[in-house]
């Protein structure tokens, strides 16, 4: 075997990438109303979305199923071979079946296509050949361009790239049409670095009787008692109607005590910091930490959307650090 020069290897890499870029360009031009039909079928599916393929297309099907599940379209993949040995029993009439194949002529797919047609299971076919069994047997036909493969012209490369791309496009189009947002996404991704990025202050804040509330009409003696009990180093002042009017930190209290002996006559309303910084419950924790660092503060009031004057929780920098938010 004659070793290839580095420049030769690099040129091969670039050729492969260029072939796949061209395939994606052709895919972009091929998007038509059948894509819309497929997205609507995904959104309207009242049961499971099942993806299946043979060989490399089967691996692509598994990845697309994972992506769809992560954005609110419950999906899973089946092995075409396993379907021939009993797994067809996991497919019901209310399901949506998506079969992926470059040629659409794989022998393993034929019984699955017949099963779907016979049992009136809605079938989306993602395929590159119009004369194939998959194209003809599909209710919704997504015809992919016939892309030139890299490596001997037969190794699945460009074809699998456009299969993956159309799957991602279907998942994200469905996401947008369902108005699936970051908050929804975070509920499905509680772990790992992604989970940390998507945590909201609502996930970490203290609520109800743990929130250090105090009436603005109370005196400093009462404030010291509550701030000691709650152990958060801050008090949220509110009026008789329950609206937030200010904030008082343990640092503020120490300064006031240093300059005044009679704390019974000092009313919270007269010494608190008015208009405290508040964030909504849907604010991501990373942003809350950034606000604290920028403002050089250690806590934030938390309100529900469009109810800025009504504090429902408190987020402290310790809560963020304990959750490894950075």
Residue 268's nearest CA partner among 224, 216, 230, 213 is 216
Same domain, 115 and 222: no
Same domain, 203 and 151: no
pLDDT of residue 307: 86
If you ran DSSP here, which 8-state letter would residue 72 be given? T
Q: What is the CATH number of the domain that holds 222?
A: 3.10.580.10
Considering the domain boundaries, does residue 192 fall inside one? no
Structural domains in the chain (count): 2
Q: Are strands 273-274 and 244-249 parallel, antiparallel or unpaired?
A: antiparallel
Considering the domain boundaries, does residue 97 fall inside one? yes
Same domain, 317 and 244: yes
Domain interval for residue 161: 6-180
Considering the domain boundaries, does residue 175 fall inside one? yes
User: SS in 3 state form for 83-145?
Assistant: HCCCHHHHCCCCCEEEEEECCCCCHHHHHHHHHHHHCCCEEEEEECCCCCHHHHHCCEEEECC
Neighbours of 295 (CB within 10 A): 10
Same domain, 170 and 203: no
* Planar angle of CA 162, 164, 166, nearest 5 degrees: 65
For residue 282, CA distances in Å to 87, 188, 201 come to 42, 15, 7
Strand order in the sheet with 122-127: 75-79, 49-53, 96-101, 122-127, 140-143
Residue pLDDT tens, the chain, 326 long: 556 666 688 889 999 999 999 999 999 999 999 999 999 999 999 899 999 999 999 999 999 999 998 888 889 999 988 888 888 999 999 999 999 999 999 999 999 999 999 999 999 999 999 999 999 999 999 999 998 998 788 899 999 999 999 999 999 999 988 887 666 666 665 566 666 677 889 989 999 999 999 999 999 889 999 999 999 999 999 999 999 999 999 888 888 887 776 778 889 999 999 989 999 998 988 899 999 999 999 999 999 988 888 999 999 999 998 888 87
Considering the domain boundaries, does residue 132 fall inside one? yes
pTM (predicted TM-score): 0.67
Q: Are strands 75-79 and 278-280 parallel, antiparallel or unpaired?
A: unpaired
pLDDT of residue 325: 84
Q: What is the CATH number of the domain that holds 142?
A: 3.40.50.10490
Same domain, 238 and 164: no
pLDDT of residue 243: 94
Last residue of a domain, one of 120, 147, 180: 180
């Amino acid at each position: 075997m004659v070793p290839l020069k580095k420049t030769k290897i690099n040129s091969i890499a670039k050729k492969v990438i260029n072939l796949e870029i061209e395939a994606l360009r052709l895919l972009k031009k091929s998007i038509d109303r059948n894509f819309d039909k497929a997205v609507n079928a995904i959104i309207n599916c009242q049961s499971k979305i099942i993806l299946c393929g043979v060989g490399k297309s089967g691996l692509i099907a598994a990845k697309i199923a994972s992506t769809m599940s992560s954005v609110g379209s419950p999906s899973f993949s089946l092995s075409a071979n396993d379907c021939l040995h009993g797994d067809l029993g996991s497919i019901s009439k209310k399901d949506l079946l998506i079969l992926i194949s470059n040629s659409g002529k794989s022998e393993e797919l034929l019984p699955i296509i017949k099963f779907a047609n016979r049992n009136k299971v809605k079938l989306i076919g993602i395929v590159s050949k119009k004369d194939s069994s998959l194209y003809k047997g599909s209710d919704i036909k997504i015809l992919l361009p016939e892309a030139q493969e890299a490596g001997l012209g037969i190794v699945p490369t460009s074809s699998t790239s456009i299969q993956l791309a159309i799957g991602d496009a279907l998942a994200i189009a469905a996401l947008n049409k369902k108005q699936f947002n970051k908050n929804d996404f975070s509920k499905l991704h509680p772990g790992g670095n992604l989970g940390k990025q998507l945590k909201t202050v609502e996930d970490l804040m203290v609520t109800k009787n743990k929130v250090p509330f105090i009436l603005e009409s109370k005196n400093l003696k009462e404030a010291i008692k509550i701030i000691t009990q709650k152990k958060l180093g801050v008090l949220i002042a509110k009026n008789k109607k329950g609206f937030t009017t200010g904030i008082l930190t343990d640092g503020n209290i120490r300064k006031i005590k240093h300059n005044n002996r009679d704390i019974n006559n000092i009313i919270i309303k007269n010494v608190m910091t008015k208009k405290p910084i508040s964030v909504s419950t849907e604010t991501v924790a990373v942003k809350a930490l950034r606000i604290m660092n920028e403002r050089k503060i250690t806590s934030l009031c938390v309100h529900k959307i469009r109810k800025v004057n009504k504090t429902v929780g408190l987020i402290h920098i310790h809560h963020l650090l304990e959750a490894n938010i950075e």
